[in-house]
Amino acid sequence: MRYHEALTWLYSLESRGARYELDRMHASLAACGHPQRGLKTIHVAGTNGKGSSSAMLERCLREAGYKTGFFSSPHLHRYVERVRIDGRPIAESEAAKRLSAFRKADLPLTFFEFTVLLAFEAFRDHGCDIVVLEVGLGGRLDATNVDHNAQVSLITRIAKDHTSILGDTLPAIAREKAGILREGTPAVLNIDSAPARRAAKSFANKRSVNAWVLSEDFHLEGEEAILPKGERVSVASLGLRGTIQKRNALGVVATLHRLRERGFDISDAAIAKGLKNASWPGRLEHQRAENGAEVIFDCAHNPDGAERFAEYIGTLPQKKRVLLFGALADKELEPMLAAFDSLVDHRVYAIPKIRRAPKTMRAFQKIRPGQVRKDIHAALTESLRLAGKDGEVLVCGSIFLVQAVRAALLGVRSDPPIAM
């Protein structure tokens, strides 16, 4: 199969849904020769911040001279972005070849499970020294939570999201995320919610996991990460924007120091360079439109993420602002939209073209009045008009909306959106 044909087949597996159990994954890995078992990994879970943290970890490891693998989801523009070798997505031809083999093997996996399997095989075949492995959803029953050789486990910020699957309290969600913790594998719990942190720490203790816990073993002091032995590492110069990134960088620095305990040679200079050079498109990303307006993208897709985005915008000089928003049907819309009440002059709503999106935008308008545009290009055009050449357009609500608007603004080639 060619790349497009392979993706068409893979997208067709949406009917299998998302299944949260690991038996099929274990059986399929065995059928493919256990490609995960030789991989040294950093396993990263969390509600918000895990993507940014993973991007910083990968860049620091690359700066230290290691050949890296990086698995993340969902992708922003192209499916192959989910599986990166030394910072570059695998070739479309490689993805097509591997997906074709999976189809012939008739394995009973879901879209996400096939993608994890593809990543494990690619990382093995490319000879990666270390893999940054980001959890898809939850942790305990996520397809990434199998018997790879985890060197360190990192858990980032916990917030309410996917509550029908993970639970409706922060401690419950934290316990699901902590399901990636393993006896004998050191961990870093960079969780700022005290109830969630206590739940994850209790889980770690029951599994005899040697965990560094935020506020107990490491903390942020100004622009320095303070580690258990009194070591100080600057997080002042970051490639990623926003004050929350200093907290993410704190967890990254702690994780890299735990890797040093496992024998990895990661200098302070490599850490500093990696933190400064890390990039993560679509996360507090600034771009300039042709009319002069600034467009700021953020993949905030839950109330906590929206609040962090609004907090960042509040630190910028006051300008005329337009919120270009679109979210999936299962999201808590009211707190997401309310986060921008004192920040924006206009709101424009557009629906991402995927199955899980709302069928109508009345839900948005009932919460906060705004203009409706069914077409992404029309929504962007109207947003830029309302902002004017000196204004700002804030794009958030769903990664699928960010993808579509970013592609329209920058002319980026994208795969068709997927409903996962």
Q: pLDDT tens digits for 249-299?
A: 999 999 999 999 999 999 999 999 999 999 999 999 999 999 999 999 999
Beta strand residue intervals within 198-248, DSSP E = 211-213, 219-221, 224-226, 232-234
Task: Report, as ranges of residue numbers, the positions in the chain whose pLDDT lies below 70.
Answer: 330, 352-360, 416-420
Q: What is the pLDDT of residue 420?
A: 41
- Cα separation, 44 vs 221, in Å, equals 24
Tens digit of pLDDT for each residue in 52-89?
Answer: 999 999 999 999 999 999 999 999 999 999 999 999 99
Q: What is the pLDDT of residue 419?
A: 45
- Cα separation, 42 vs 261, in Å, equals 13
Q: What is the pLDDT of residue 48?
A: 87
> Contact at 8 Å (CB) between 167 and 314?
no
17 CB contacts (<8 Å, ≥6 apart)? 110
Give me the CATH code for the 283-410 domain, please.
3.90.190.20
Does this chain's domain 3-277 share its CATH topology with 283-410? no
Greatest Cα pair distance, the chain, in angstroms, is 58
What is the residue extent of each domain of the chain? Answer: 3-277, 283-410
Q: Which two tokens stand for residue 169?
A: 């309290």
Dihedrals phi, psi of 396, to nearest 5 degrees? -165, 180
Residues facing 295 on adjacent strands = 287, 393
Count CA within 13 A, CB hemisphere, residue 196: 24
Among the listed residues 140, 122, 112, 29, the one whose alpha carbon sits nearest the alpha carbon of residue 70:
122
**Domain 3-277 maps to which CATH number in 3.40.1190.10, 3.40.718.10, 3.20.20.10, 2.170.190.11?**
3.40.1190.10
- Cα separation, 116 vs 316, in Å, equals 39
> Contact at 8 Å (CB) between 171 and 199?
yes
Which is it for the CA torsion 168, 172, 175, 176, positive or negative? negative
Given its phi and psi angles, is residue 289 left (phi above 0), alpha (psi -120 to 50 degrees) or beta?
beta
> Contact at 8 Å (CB) between 34 and 134?
no
